[in-house]
Amino acid sequence: MTLFEKIIAREIPADIVYEDDQVAAFHDANPQAPTHVLVVPKKPIPRIGDATSDDKELLGHLLLKAAEVASKIGLSKDGYRLVLNHGPHAGESVPHLHCHILGGRAMQWPPG
């Protein structure tokens, strides 16, 4: 089981801000911005490049829920960044697809 599967199964504690039958959203344990929440599909897909056309509804749900969670936690007014990492060079540390919601400060471009 990945770290995220253990969080979803409540084997590891996390500050969960949203959950439904397809995704869970919780604060990142190692935040990279004042507000840093992860939205994780309950289906274990290692990374975006491993998703298939069978996952298109889940991927749409993931992004729509990320926007909903961002609004719920107060990031819509000033803005936020959504990030999906694929592989170690992109910063992926848990091989389970997840969307980062980053906000609470101005973001730089290009990202590091």
80-99 average pLDDT score: 95
| Closest alpha carbon to 103 in 31, 34, 12 | 34
Q: Which of 43, 41, 77, 46 is nearest to 62 (CA)?
A: 41
Q: Which domains does the chain have, with CATH numbers?
A: 3-103 (3.30.428.10)
Q: How many other CB atoms are there within 10 angstroms of residue 60's CB atom? A: 10
Cα separation of 80 and 21, whole Å?
A: 25
Q: How wide is the angle at C-alpha 13 spanned by C-alphas 34 and 88, nearest 5°?
A: 60
pLDDT in tens, 36-79: 999 999 999 999 999 999 999 999 999 999 999 999 999 999 99
Inform me whether the pLDDT recorded for 104 exceeds 90. Answer: yes
The neighbour count for residue 49, using CB atoms within 10 Å, is 10
Instruction: Give the catalytic positions in this structure.
Output: 98
